[in-house]
Structure 1
Amino acid sequence: MKEEAAHKVEKLTELVSYQEGAVVSRTILDKNTGTVTLFAFDAGEGLSEHTAPYDAMVAVLDGEAEVKIAGEPFLLGGGDTIIMPADVPHALRAVERFKMLLVMIKA
């Protein structure tokens, strides 16, 4: 997000659009201390299992997603959130189209 947009009210769900058969991302903030990124997943799309060196919070804005953390599945819908701990394998899959906000704090 550019500096001139920092003092503007925005609807998160309108800042990223779905694309058929794809995962779309848009970085909102990118600082040395962390990132805030919006994602739009088409149905059936996802992120394969991986780890990250920092804790990350997923907040589902709309739609439905399955988040697996250390192999345990969690079903999240609009308004739900979950923390993915650092260095723990996790994956995401769109049960239906969904948008999420990912907040990663580098500490």
Structure 2
Amino acid sequence: MENVEIEKSKVFIIVEIIEYIPNSIVIKTIIKKTTGNVSVVSFDSGENLTEKTSPFDTFIQIIAGKAEIWINDISQIIETGESIIIPAHSRSSIKANERFKMISTIIKSGYE
């Protein structure tokens, strides 16, 4: 799993900076700060992130394909161009019924 921050002041195409790897979830950091982070993530078909609870809101935007996102036992299918906010303190998991890419943004400030 590669996790190197993207070079600043350089134009890039977000969907092209991350590859699909068979049987894997790949995460590439765009910005990482103490107040939050932005990552681009690719999921191969059949992969998933196990259920977790975050103390912060998480903004998810699908940039290629289709994801199944579970929030507090409710499943939603999110497609390319669609977004969802996973509320802080909610149980969530993400499943790839087919491969997809997403941007994940976590904002840690405002919860003091």
CA distance in 2, matches of 1:89, 1:78: 23
Alignment match, 1:102: 104
Give SS of 1:60's match: strand
- Bigger strand share: 1
Alignment match, 1:83: 85
The answer for unaligned runs of 5 or more in structure 1 is none
1:17-51 deviation per Cα after TM superposition (whole angstroms, max 9, x unaligned): 10000100011110011100110000010101111
TM-score of the pair, normalised by structure 1: 0.94
**Matching residue within 30, 33, 58 for 1:28:** 30
Alignment match, 2:74: 72
Structure-to-structure mapping, 1:34-53, within 5 angstroms = 34-53=36-55
Percent of aligned positions that are identical: 35
CA distance in 2, matches of 1:46, 1:98: 11
Give SS of 1:95's match: coil
Moved over 4 A (4+): none
The answer for unaligned runs of 5 or more in structure 2 is none
TM-score of the pair, normalised by structure 2: 0.90
CA distance in 2, matches of 1:45, 1:70: 20
